[in-house]
Copies of this chain bind each other. A is one copy, B any other.
Amino acid sequence: MRYSLFAGGKRIRPILCLAAGQAIEKRPDPDSNLLPIACALECIHTYSLIHDDLPAMDNDDLRRGKPTNHILFGEAGAILAGDGLLTWAFDLLSDSKQSTLPADQQLAIIHIIAQAAGSLGMVGGQALDIAHENQELPFATLRTIHHRKTGALITASILAGAIGAGADQTQQEALSRYGEQVGLAFQIVDDLLDVTASTEQLGKTAGSDASRGKATYPAFFGIDATRNKARAAVEEAESALVIFDEKADPLRAIAQYIYTRSH
């Protein structure tokens, strides 16, 4: 659990959670209540990487430039490390000693995250992804896989931070739109980098989508049109933030970063 949690990573989900809280900032000290939530999100993301890398799934030896969990700890160890991280996320989220948030808000945050991470969200997206390997699939299915595999938890990270910071309904809806577009951009850029970046830059095996016959944005649209789609998603994400003041600048910067990142 510790090895994979601290093997690097961009921490996009916890950062989005904290930045969403910062954009609202109605409470005196939102961050101390948001930190356990941010940590739980990274635990869930890390567990999903450990399980996705397993031989029975994507069979990856390298992640963030380091050996994947099962290479070091064996398959049983990796399965259990993932199970432990997923469970620990809900331990953190339900620990009343870690948070002064009202219990009904903590409960709402747990529910949003559980739905995004579960079979209707991330787990279901990975199942769809694996079921469609080496198959021709319509673009709508690729979009669904992206949304469930990546977009759902990213949107939930932002909403969890917003709710934890006391966002009203209008703010939650705007941040939800932002989250959907940022999640989409993130996955499109992931597809792009798999084609255009080196294994060294990525810290994982480049070109692995193509070699596994996975449907990707570049496979559908080519590299230039895919880049345009990523930019369009980032622009839509930024326009969803129009109701927020400069406290949302970190969210704006993250949207730009997602488009320009090289790994």
Contact = CB atoms under 8 A, between A and B. Distances in A.
Q: Count the copies.
A: 2
Nearest to A73: B127
A107 B127 contact: no
B119 A87 contact: yes
Interface in A77-125: 77, 79-80, 82-84, 86-88, 90-91, 93-96, 102-104, 106-108, 110-111, 114-115, 117-119, 123-124
Residue among A1, A95, A108, A110 with max Cβ neighbours from chain B (10 Å): A110
Contact of A127 (B80, B87, B90): B80
A54 interface: yes
Contact of A110 (B57, B82, B110): B110
A7 to B, nearest CB: 17
Contacts of A63: none
A86 to B, nearest CB: 6
A252 to B, nearest CB: 31
A118 B91 CA distance: 8
Interface in A130-186: 130
A107 B91 CA distance: 10
The DSSP consensus for interface residues of chain A is helix
A216 interface: no
Contact of A91 (B77, B82, B115): B115
A51 B99 CA distance: 32
A242 interface: no
A68 interface: no
Contact of A96 (B57, B82, B108): B108
A134 B94 CA distance: 37
A119 to B, nearest CB: 4
A74 interface: yes
A51 B87 CA distance: 14
B91 A111 contact: yes
A46 interface: no
Contacts of A96: 104, 107-108, 111
24 contacts: A1-B119, A47-B83, A51-B80, A54-B79, A57-B79, A76-B127, A82-B83, A83-B123, A84-B118, A84-B119, A87-B114, A87-B117, A87-B118, A88-B114, A90-B114, A91-B114, A94-B107, A94-B108, A94-B111, A94-B114, A96-B104, A96-B111, A103-B103, A103-B106
Q: Which 10 A-B pairs have the closest CB atoms?
A: A56-B75, A103-B103, A84-B119, A87-B118, A91-B114, A94-B110, A103-B104, A94-B111, A90-B114, A84-B123
